[in-house]
Chain A
Amino acid sequence: MAKAADELTWQDLEVGCAVSEPGNARSYRTGDWKTFRPVLDKEKCIQCGICHLYCPERAYPEPNEDGHFIADLYFCKGCGICAYECPTQAISMVEEEE
């Protein structure tokens, strides 16, 4: 989308509000829904990737250089499934206070 959603006029919309740009949900920030964010304890993490597999939003991208899976907070909704599923309890959900 060339313009941000807030700047689109009604004339800018495609017929029937169709979306012709594939994958533009990528620009939609779901991260601001959360009240808790996942914090990883790298000491406990065994880099199994269960969090990556279970995340319903695919907010855990491929592992970083060290092999850790780190949640992308732009998308993470804070559901806590990763923390619940983590076999070593390496992820804790911390309240967003700011």
Chain B
Amino acid sequence: MEERKGMEVSIAVAEAVKLSDVDVVCAYPITPQTHIVEHLSEFVADGDLDAEFIPVESEHSAMAVSVGSSAVGARTFTCTASQGLALMSEIVYLTASLRLPIVMTLMNRSLSGPLSIWNDHSDVMSVRDCGWIQLFCENGQEMFDFNIMAYRIGEDKDVQLPVMVNGDGFILSHMIEPIKIMDAETVKKYLPTYVPQQRLHPDKPITMGCFAMPNLFSESKKSQEAALINSLPTIKKAFDEWGKLTGRQYKTVESYKSDGAKTLFVTMGSFGETASVAVDELQAAGESVGVLKLRLWRPFPFDDFRKAVEGVEKLIVVDRAVSFGAGGPVASQLRSALYDEPNKPQMTNMIAGLGGRDVGPHDFVSMYNMSQDMFKKGAKEENFHFYGVRE
């Protein structure tokens, strides 16, 4: 049973965490994620969620506490953004190598400087290689759904990895949307009680987080990489079973009106919906264009992406972050994924929406028109473009 309610997306995330019946919440408030922490704190204080809420003095401690609680087998939640993620990043990397299935919601916000509380993807891109499963949401319903699916995926005995659920700060976190909230009983069936494969317990002492000499380090990294790559079938299975329950079937690479389209936008996060509105307008005007939306960023769904762009002539990749000196991180990834394909599409790379700059459907229309000009001139790899920058 689902109940459709109008609520702020941050509250929906807190509801999802509550329904996931977590044992420990340890998070430090930071804009624009604060409302999630506040609501979870209220749930615990009111007795609506039987969990430990552990206040800490920084994000570094928040992730350290999360590691400790996950290591003893507790279902653990944390969330952060921007500078908070930067401060905890040391432990973020450790969490993946320790294979602890913590779930973290990241309300994406720019990294300083200049100081900005607003949205872009520079925070998550700073930990791109941390070894977590990284999912991107497009709207509030997905934020709710993915936060529950995240535990199902991460805790699976074949996965045992932390999962990061990304949502655009303010654009999603502070938006009030109609969201279908599932009942606790159904969530419980989808997400059974967590049974850790190993944990710190006096009955069977183990050591976690010890050092590795050069003769074992590469083997440890290979096993970590294999775990992340091998999580793909479990991720898809979690999507499928959620789809059966709710009718909301997710894919690693979503598409919108992409069948037969000559040009596709490729987006991550809330850009997907904005691009879809633009595609409606462009198609109505006779243009052959659609959208691909990357749901799963790590492990990167190479096969699904290649399949989704089969026969496509042109890609407009819209990044919300810069890898300084090398263009947009998503475009770089996609170029790499397409390198061995015999019929590669042309690609332009738009960098847009940095530090909260509003990007509306009309901007996607203008990116489309600009890109078509660039394609005619022969777009080159170094032709990434800071969209909308005044010159």
List the interface of chain A (C-beta within 8 A of B): 5-6, 8-20, 22
Contacts and interface: CB of A to CB of B under 8 A. Distances in A.
Ranked 7 nearest A-B pairs via Cβ:
A16-B99, A19-B207, A10-B222, A10-B219, A10-B223, A16-B98, A20-B206
A28 to B, nearest CB: 9
12 contacts: A5-B213, A5-B216, A10-B223, A12-B219, A13-B219, A16-B97, A16-B98, A16-B100, A16-B208, A17-B98, A19-B210, A20-B206
Given A5-B215, A10-B226, A20-B206, A15 B220 contact: no
Nearest to A16: B99
B206 A13 contact: no
A40 to B, nearest CB: 31
Interface residues of B, number: 24
A18 B226 CA distance: 16
Nearest to B217: A17
Given A5-B213, A5-B216, A10-B223, A15 B206 contact: no
B205 interface: yes
Contacts of B212: 17
B201 to A, nearest CB: 12
Interface of B: 97-100, 160, 197-198, 204-208, 210, 212-213, 215-216, 218-220, 222-223, 226-227
B41 to A, nearest CB: 30
Nearest to A22: B205
Contacts of A22: 205, 207
A9 B198 contact: no
Given A10-B222, A14-B198, 8 more contacts: A5-B215, A10-B226, A16-B98, A17-B210, A17-B216, A18-B208, A20-B198, A22-B205
Given A5-B216, A16-B100, A18-B198, A11 B223 contact: yes
B283 to A, nearest CB: 48
A17 to B, nearest CB: 5
Given A5-B213, A10-B226, A18 B206 contact: yes
A9 B219 contact: yes
B223 A13 contact: yes
A8 B99 contact: no
Nearest to A11: B223
Contacts of B223: 10-11, 13, 17
A2 to B, nearest CB: 15
A9 B218 CA distance: 10
A16 to B, nearest CB: 4
Contacts of B160: 15-16
Contact of A15 (B99, B210, B215, B219): B99
Contacts of A9: 219
Nearest to A7: B215
